[in-house]
Homo-oligomer: A and B are copies of this chain.
Amino acid sequence: MGTKNQKSIGVFDSGIGGLTVVRALLEKLPNENIVYFGDTARVPYGSKSAQVVREYTQDDTDFLLSKDVKMIVVACNTVSAVALDVVQKRANLPVTGVIIPGAEAAMNSTKNKRIGVIGTAGTVNSNAYAHELKRLNNSVNVFSKACPLFVPLVEEGWLENKATELIVNDYLFPLITEKIDTLILGCTHYPLLKRTISKVTKGAVTLIDSGEAAAATVETMLEKLDLRNTSKEKPNVQFFVSDAPEKFTSVGELFFGKKLGVVRRVVIGKG
């Protein structure tokens, strides 16, 4: 047990959504120090090309490395889907994304082996969840659907109104028709739509929050690597963003479930 264990867990996301992952991490691992980076100056990643997401991922990783973290959690589904190897190559540290934990949790849940996946265009087009699910069990049937309107609906705070319900219904209809019994919420924003999704799916589909699944994976990894922080000091959670912090601070509460405290801007990606 030394200072290494007291180092922070580094978490990054394209923007604000990764706060749902930090929230899950803090519930499971309340003693851990955390450094969060949200690339709010270049958000979203989910509608951009894999090439650009991989370039941005380099900058995000370098920022966390500059904070001397003990491991890196890629909270962003799009990065986890198309650029996890970029993080792994750049950081000589334990790394986890959200895809493998989410896929494993879905496999543990499904009874009829018919699993739905929703996410950004980048995540869905990558087929990363389908690939991982098939690797776990080749007989599983996977039905995917990109839902580009979910993020702006959540950021507008329209979680349960009539228009949101219509849009959720439009996107999910083809998956419901396929009789899925489990649905992976493959984007950090989507857990905020759980109630509306449950209403539309009439409670008949188990919703998998990839962020929660990732938090469980982080716990297991830290245990295995003997990297848990057992210090009795009050843990430190630091937030950094690449755009002005005001919007992140105000909207962030919705994702984080409580006030964020100080959020600082850092300039990244230059040079």
Q: Contact check, B163 vs A246: say whether CB atoms are below 8 A apart.
A: no
Q: Which of B51, B158, B167, B242 contacts A244 (CB 8 A)?
A: B51
Q: Does A221 contact B (CB under 8 A)?
A: no
Q: Which residue of B lies closest to A151 (CB)?
A: B152
Q: Which residue of B lies closest to A15 (CB)?
A: B47
Q: Which residue of B lies closest to A50 (CB)?
A: B244
Quickly give the copy total for this chain.
Answer: 2
Q: Contact check, A48 vs B243: say whether CB atoms are below 8 A apart.
A: yes
Q: Contact check, B243 vs A52: say whether CB atoms are below 8 A apart.
A: yes
Distance between A198 CB and nearest chain B CB, rounded to angstroms:
19
Distance between A59 CB and nearest chain B CB, rounded to angstroms:
10
What is the CA–CA distance of A167 and B42 in the complex, to the nearest angstrom?
26
CB-CB under 8 A from A41, the residues of chain B are 42, 48, 52
Q: Contact check, B167 vs A163: say whether CB atoms are below 8 A apart.
A: yes
CB-CB under 8 A from A155, the residues of chain B are 47, 148
Q: Does A49 contact B (CB under 8 A)?
A: yes
Q: Does A149 contact B (CB under 8 A)?
A: yes
Q: Which of A51, A151, A152 has the most B CB atoms < 10 Å from its CB?
A: A152
CB-CB under 8 A from A271, the residues of chain B are 270-271
What are 27 A-B pairs with beta-carbon distances under 8 A? Answer: A41-B42, A41-B48, A41-B52, A47-B155, A47-B247, A48-B243, A49-B246, A49-B247, A51-B244, A52-B242, A52-B243, A148-B152, A148-B155, A149-B149, A149-B152, A149-B153, A149-B156, A151-B152, A152-B152, A161-B170, A162-B166, A163-B167, A166-B166, A269-B270, A270-B270, A270-B271, A271-B271
